[in-house]
């Protein structure tokens, strides 16, 4: 029988998620491509239990040199682009995309570093500046006070995050951010979202979860190249440009510089819609990556298919729920614009993409890169202008459609893209572009557009329901979709969710990502009964992401016939699907799955995937072949060295072989990436005791 435990084990060991949250930057001209040298180790000046002292003098200014690593092959850099496209380069340099990452100099730093003090519930910091030297004094990795130079800053339009480089080359996002649009205050955004943070918390600023190379730089620089030396435990990083520069959207340009041929550069506006959307989606929505962050060769480039590299994170993080989504599946956190848009009817039925409403950073535009029409009809806002092409009749109806007299209520965005999405302590438009559903506010506490504006005491969600039924009786059909999704996804209705989950899964008009969520939840909540609905959906699934979700969900059910259902997927065109099918099949000893895993681990196009190597290593260890098991596990760490679970497994193997020094190395490495790993800590204590021997 195919057991769900196998898949859960593989996912727990292997799945590493990367958030591609997009932050914005100041509008100063762009700096040349640079990277800092590794600074000296911060000095911790107090014991763990000592009270925090006041600010001290700033450290020397960060030395900035040419890139420690070159960008991947094919990148030319924006300065080279400017030689022929100086107008576009000048316009781009005034846009926020150019400030995704900037040097920490007075030209770009917007926060108040004039001996400023911040104190939160669990964090405290002193910001100081001397000439071009910016620093933050705060608790370090051990809980002792240290002085940390600010080498880089992320954003600057709404929030600016300071970044320091640690002695091992890690870029870490410091704990206190400057909230530009929040009265110019310093805030601890992570503490506001996660609660009190101590050094053993995953989101404490010095820990791996706040590592910029892993979580930020892929979307905040152009042409990222980052490597990790497993022997020296040192990180090296380089890139073509700081910020989202020309080649982030147009692809590597070195060939175009040589030939000046249009075929050697990408024009996003001329790509097929899905590939044009992928250019924006690569950063405007957190995703799972097929290949690890250290694999620059297999990183997405403009003009390629999104689904060949990424799977958008929607509602679920492995088997756990994400806190970034409302119960009806809409994102409630900023930077998930892609996830929201691909749920919208504008996308699913009308084919709208980001470029329907937005334009290039170097083109003339209104705020937030919205297209600036040459002529706006009376009463039409910039935000609504793009809607007019498909909804001319609604525009002609005017107040007869809106049933409001206020000018701001005539804007489509007010009701269909309300500011119910939060992020960096501000509010943003909901890109799911749907109708208000106040019934979901009543039942599931999901905010609605009506009450985003009508906040007085008598404007209850119930009263909004009555008004909607009176003024827009035909809206019930649209509302029914979100009500069904909420009943399917919500935790509090989980016991009664089988029917709505099956309905969502069977609805071919529904967003494939939401059907995938329904598949996962159906398998989790109704394991024995889920298989028929999952198999029926798989028979007609055309989206590779949905097929991958269905493969994983089917494996969770553990039913007898699942193996024969998964086996044909081993020949799927998508690497995601082949991998999702091979792992559970191999895990239960099906020779078809084992053969597929071995092929994935051997073929050049897929050898860089860490997951097949880990699974083959697990299987080898299970049958007692320690040599093959170690070889496969070590290969997976060459590809993905930050996988703490694999490091712990290897430590166990080395300890069993009597190689305590190597076991200790792997455990210490696991704790570098996950200081909270209880198993690694316990094992390290045992290894150290054994190493000392009796009587020592």
For 221-276, how does the pLDDT look when each residue is reduced to its tens digit (9 = 90+)? 999 999 999 999 999 999 999 999 999 999 999 999 999 999 999 999 999 999 99
Q: What is the mean pLDDT of residues 530-535?
A: 96
User: Is pLDDT at 35 greater than 70 in this prediction?
Assistant: no
Chain segment 337-372, per-residue pLDDT in tens: 999 999 999 999 999 999 999 999 999 999 899 998
Report yes or no: 438 and 450 within 8 Å, Cβ to Cβ.
yes
Using DSSP's 3-state secondary structure scheme, residue 36 falls into strand
Is residue 195 a part of any domain in this protein? yes
Q: Which of 292-296, 342-346, 616-620 has the lowest mean pLDDT?
A: 292-296
Is residue 137 a part of any domain in this protein? yes
Q: How many domains does the chain have?
A: 1
Question: Can you give the pLDDT at residue 189?
Answer: 86
Residues comprising the chain, all counted: 696
Chain segment 298-332, per-residue pLDDT in tens: 999 999 999 999 999 999 988 899 999 999 999 99
Question: Can you give the pLDDT at residue 409?
Answer: 86
Question: Can you give the pLDDT at residue 693?
Answer: 62
Question: Can you give the pLDDT at residue 694?
Answer: 58
Q: Provide, rounded to the nearest whole percent, the portion of the chain with pLDDT above 90.
A: 75
More confident residue, 28 or 567: 567
Q: Which of 380-384, 507-511, 555-559 has the lowest mean pLDDT?
A: 380-384
- d(CA 325, CA 508) in angstroms, rounded, equals 22
pTM of the model: 0.89
Using DSSP's 3-state secondary structure scheme, residue 356 falls into helix
Q: In 3D, which of 531, 530, 540 has the Cα closest to residue 564?
A: 531
Euclidean distance between the first and the last CA atom of the chain, given in angstroms as a whole number: 50
Element at 545 (helix H, strand E): helix 544-557
- d(CA 164, CA 72) in angstroms, rounded, equals 24
Surface-to-core class of residue 372, CB atoms within 10 Å of its CB (0-12 exposed, 13-18 middle, 19+ buried)? middle
Using DSSP's 3-state secondary structure scheme, residue 196 falls into coil
User: Is pLDDT at 36 greater than 80 in this prediction?
Assistant: no
Local confidence band at 66 (pLDDT 50, 70, 90 cut-offs): very low
On average, the pLDDT of the chain sits at 88
Which residues sit opposite 127 in a β-bridge?
A: 116, 136
Taking CA atoms, 417 is separated from 40, 359, 412, 475, 484, in Å, by 48, 19, 7, 16, 20
Is residue 331 a part of any domain in this protein? no
Is residue 666 a part of any domain in this protein? no
Is residue 633 a part of any domain in this protein? no
Taking CA atoms, 213 is separated from 30, 219, 294, in Å, by 21, 10, 9
Chain segment 458-504, per-residue pLDDT in tens: 899 999 999 999 999 989 989 999 999 999 999 999 999 999 999 99
Chain segment 129-181, per-residue pLDDT in tens: 998 899 999 999 989 999 999 999 999 999 999 999 999 999 999 999 999 99
Is residue 526 a part of any domain in this protein? no
Element at 394 (helix H, strand E): helix 392-397
User: Is pLDDT at 665 greater than 60 in this prediction?
Assistant: yes
Q: Provide, rounded to the nearest whole percent, the portion of the chain with pLDDT above 70.
A: 90
Q: Which two tokens stand for residue 1?
A: 């029988």
Q: Which of 61-70, 107-116, 354-363 has the lowest mean pLDDT?
A: 61-70
Question: Can you give the pLDDT at residue 486?
Answer: 98
Report yes or no: 581 and 567 within 8 Å, Cβ to Cβ.
yes
Is residue 186 a part of any domain in this protein? yes
Task: Look up the domain containing 24 and give its range.
Answer: 20-255
Which residues sit opposite 179 in a β-bridge?
A: 159, 185
Q: Which residues contact 315 (CB under 8 A, 6 or more apart)?
A: 321, 322, 325, 329, 489, 517
Question: Can you give the pLDDT at residue 508?
Answer: 97
Q: What is the mean pLDDT of residues 194-219?
A: 91
User: DSSP of 625-637, one letter per residue?
Assistant: -HHHHHHHHHHHH
Is residue 152 a part of any domain in this protein? yes
Alpha-helix runs per DSSP H in 472-541: 476-489, 498-506, 512-525, 527-540
More confident residue, 419 or 46: 419
Question: Can you give the pLDDT at residue 686?
Answer: 92
């Amino acid at each position: 029988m195919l057991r769900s435990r196998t898949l859960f084990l593989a996912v727990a060991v292997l799945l590493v998620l990367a958030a591609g949250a997009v932050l914005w930057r100041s509008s100063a001209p762009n700096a040349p491509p640079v990277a800092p040298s590794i600074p000296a180790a911060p000095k911790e000046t107090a014991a763990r239990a000592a009270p925090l002292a006041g600010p001290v003098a700033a450290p020397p200014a960060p030395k900035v040199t040419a890139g420690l690593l070159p960008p991947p092959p094919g990148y030319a850099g924006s300065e080279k682009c400017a030689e022929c496209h100086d107008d576009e380069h000048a316009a781009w340099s005034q846009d926020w995309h150019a400030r995704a990452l900037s040097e920490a100099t007075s030209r770009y730093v917007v926060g108040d570093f004039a001996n400023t003090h911040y104190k939160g519930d669990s964090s405290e910091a002193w910001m100081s500046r001397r000439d071009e030297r910016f620093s933050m004094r705060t608790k370090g990795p051990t809980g002792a006070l240290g002085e940390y130079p600010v080498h880089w800053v992320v954003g600057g339009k709404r929030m600016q995050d300071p970044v320091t480089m640690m002695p091992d080359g890690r870029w870490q996002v410091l704990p206190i951010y400057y909230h530009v649009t929040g009265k110019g205050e310093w805030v601890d955004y992570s503490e506001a979202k996660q609660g009190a943070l101590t050094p053993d918390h995953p989101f404490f600023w010095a820990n791996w979860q706040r590592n910029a190379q892993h979580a930020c730089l892929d979307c905040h620089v152009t042409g990222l190249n980052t490597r990790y030396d497993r022997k020296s435990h040192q990180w090296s990083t380089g890139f073509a440009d700081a910020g989202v520069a020309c080649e982030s959207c147009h692809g590597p340009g070195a060939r175009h510089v040589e030939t000046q041929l249009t075929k050697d550069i990408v024009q996003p506006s001329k790509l097929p819609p899905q590939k044009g959307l992928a250019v924006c989606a690569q950063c405007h929505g957190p995703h799972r990556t097929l290949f690890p962050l250290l694999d620059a060769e297999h990183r997405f480039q403009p003009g390629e298919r999104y689904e060949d590299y990424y799977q958008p994170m929607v509602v679920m993080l492995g088997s756990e729920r994400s806190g970034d989504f409302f119960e009806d599946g809409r994102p409630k956190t900023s930077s998930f614009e892609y996830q929201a848009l691909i749920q919208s009817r504008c996308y699913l039925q009308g084919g709208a993409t980001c470029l329907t409403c937005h334009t290039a950073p170097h083109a003339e535009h209104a705020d937030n890169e919205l297209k600036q029409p040459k002529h706006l009809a009376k009463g039409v806002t910039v935000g609504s202008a793009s809607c007019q092409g498909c909804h001319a009749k609604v525009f002609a109806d005017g107040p007869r459609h809106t049933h409001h007299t206020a000018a701001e209520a005539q804007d489509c965005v007010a009701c269909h893209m309300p500011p119910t999405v939060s992020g960096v302590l501000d509010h943003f438009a909901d890109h799911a572009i749907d109708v208000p559903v106040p019934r979901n506010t009543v039942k599931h506490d999901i905010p609605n557009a009506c009450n985003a504006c009508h906040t007085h005491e008598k404007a209850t969600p119930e009263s909004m329901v009555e008004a909607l039924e009176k003024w827009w009786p035909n809206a019930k059909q649209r509302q029914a979709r979100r009500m069904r999704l909420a009943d399917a996804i919500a935790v509090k209705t989980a016991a009664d969710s089988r029917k709505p989950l099956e309905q969502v899964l069977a609805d071919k008009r529904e967003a494939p990502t939401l059907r995938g969520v329904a598949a996962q939840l159906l398998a989790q909540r109704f394991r024995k009964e889920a298989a028929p609905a999952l198999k029926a959906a798989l028979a007609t699934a055309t989206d590779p992401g949905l097929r991958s979700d269905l493969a994983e969900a089917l494996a969770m059910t553990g039913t007898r016939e699942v193996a024969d259902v998964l086996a044909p997927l081993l020949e799927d065109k998508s690497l995601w699907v082949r991998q999702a099918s091979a792992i559970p099949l191999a895990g239960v000893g099906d020779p078809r799955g084992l053969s597929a895993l071995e092929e994935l681990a051997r073929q050049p196009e897929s050898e860089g995937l860490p997951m097949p190597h880990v699974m083959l290593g697990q299987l080898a260890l299970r049958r007692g072949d320690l040599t093959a098991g170690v070889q496969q596990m070590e290969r997976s760490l060459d590809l993905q060295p930050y996988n703490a679970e694999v490091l712990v497994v290897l430590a166990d193997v080395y300890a069993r072989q009597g190689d305590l020094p190597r076991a200790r190395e792997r455990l210490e490495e696991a704790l570098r990436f996950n200081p909270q790993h209880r198993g690694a800590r316990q094992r390290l204590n045992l290894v150290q005791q054994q190493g000392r021997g009796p009587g020592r």
